[in-house]
């Protein structure tokens, strides 16, 4: 029997009241992949993230993590099993220190050597976060906050990192840095599922991608395939000069 997918959506539907948001959505993410989820505004990208975290419950369909159904589990249990979010717009706890934010990332874990190791790892990845560890999180720049948000998620020692718009509102310098670090984290063994408006950047680091339109998966394939797809080039990569492969 093949190894189960790390995360799998099967025929998932979600509703906000009468509004049908995700419509018969399927995703399959294998261990070790970087998957990008592309799409315009209000297409269901954030709802996908919320459905993974258990903030939104599907009205039908199943969500499996590591081969087991999780769609009925409370959020805390999903975090315990190894899913951690990097939330849209960072969402740090603004009046707590950077260190306290990192501690909150490890909320369900015991303090001890593993915590210390993970803290070292976060500080290695983000030297800036280490410098700022005693500063109140709300006073950091957007880019620094994004580093803390990623560090906070890593403190959960996740197997699946769900990132909602990691590049949003960041200066180009930070965008590059964030995507570099995404690749580093992935090489260190964490599977990554990211929602991203910046299709150009997302496809440059992702292995595969899904394209969501009004709640439906309209396209999926390897990053390379999608980059060559005329529809994608027109709709999402419009501003980009795609070099001939």
Partner 1 sequence: MTTFDLLLQQTINGLSLGAMYSLLALGFTLVYGILELINFAHFNVFMVGSFIAMGVLQLFGLNGQEVILTGLPLAMVLIAAFAVTMVASGALGVAIEVLSLRPLRNVKGPAAMITTIGVSYILFNVVLLSQGADAKNFPNPLPTKRFQIGGATLDLRVILIWIVALALMAGLYVFVQRSKMGKAMRATAQDPEAARMMGVEVDRVIVTAFFLGSALAGAGGLIFGLYYNFTSFIIGFTAGLRAFTAAVLGGIGNVPGAMVGGVLIGLIEAMAGQFIATAWADVIIFSILVLVLVFKPAGLFGRLAPQKS
Q: Where do contacts with partner 1 occur on this chain (CB under 8 A)? A: 53, 55, 74-76, 79-80, 85, 87, 89, 91-96, 100, 103-105, 107-108, 152, 156
**Which parts of 79-128 are beta strand (E)?**
83-86
Nearer to partner 1, 90 or 208 (CB): 90
Residue 14 has phi, psi (to 5 degrees) of -130, 150
The helices-and-strands tally (H runs, E runs) of the chain is 10, 12
Beta strand 60-65 pairing with 7-13: antiparallel
CB of 190 to partner 1, least distance (A): 17
CB of 93 to partner 1, least distance (A): 5
CB of 75 to partner 1, least distance (A): 5
Rounded to whole angstroms, the Cα distance separating 218 from 73 reads 28
Residue 50 is classified by DSSP as H
CB of 4 to partner 1, least distance (A): 23
Rounded to whole angstroms, the Cα distance separating 146 from 128 reads 11
Nearer to partner 1, 90 or 227 (CB): 90
Nearer to partner 1, 47 or 220 (CB): 47
Closest CA to 138 of 90, 102, 86, 85: 90
Which run of H or of E encompasses 29? strand 25-29
CB of 164 to partner 1, least distance (A): 10
Nearer to partner 1, 42 or 76 (CB): 76
Q: Could you tell me how many residues make up the chain?
A: 245
DSSP 47-109: HHHHHHHTSS--SEEEEEETTEE-TTS-HHHHHHHTEEEE-TT----TTSBHHHHHHHHTTTS
End-to-end CA separation in angstroms for the chain = 37
Nearer to partner 1, 76 or 218 (CB): 76
CB of 105 to partner 1, least distance (A): 6
CB of 186 to partner 1, least distance (A): 21
Nearer to partner 1, 28 or 136 (CB): 136
Nearer to partner 1, 74 or 238 (CB): 74
């Amino acid at each position: 029997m093949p190894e189960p997918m790390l995360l799998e959506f099967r025929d998932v539907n979600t509703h906000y009241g009468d509004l049908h948001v995700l419509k018969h959505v399927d995703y399959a993410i294998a261990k070790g992949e970087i998957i990008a989820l592309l799409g315009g505004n209000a297409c269901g990208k954030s709802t996908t993230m919320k459905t993974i975290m258990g903030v939104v419950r599907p009205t039908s369909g199943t969500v499996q993590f590591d081969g087991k159904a999780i769609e009925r589990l409370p959020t805390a249990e999903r975090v315990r099993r190894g899913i951690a979010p990097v939330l849209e717009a960072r969402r740090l706890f603004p009046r707590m220190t950077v260190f306290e934010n990192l501690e909150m990332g490890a909320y369900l874990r015991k303090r001890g050597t593993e915590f210390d190791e993970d803290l070292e790892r976060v500080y290695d990845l983000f030297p800036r976060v280490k410098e700022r560890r005693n500063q109140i999180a709300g006073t950091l720049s957007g880019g620094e906050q994004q580093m803390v948000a990623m560090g906070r998620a890593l403190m959960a020692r996740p197997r699946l990192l769900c990132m909602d718009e990691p590049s949003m509102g960041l200066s180009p310098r930070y965008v590059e840095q964030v995507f570099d670090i995404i690749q580093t984290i992935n090489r260190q063994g964490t599977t990554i599922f990211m929602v991203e408006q910046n299709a150009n950047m997302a496809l440059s680091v992702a292995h595969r991608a899904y394209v969501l339109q009004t709640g439906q998966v309209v396209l999926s394939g390897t990053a390379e395939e999608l980059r060559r797809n005329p529809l994608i080039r027109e709709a999402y990569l419009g501003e980009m000069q795609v070099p001939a492969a």
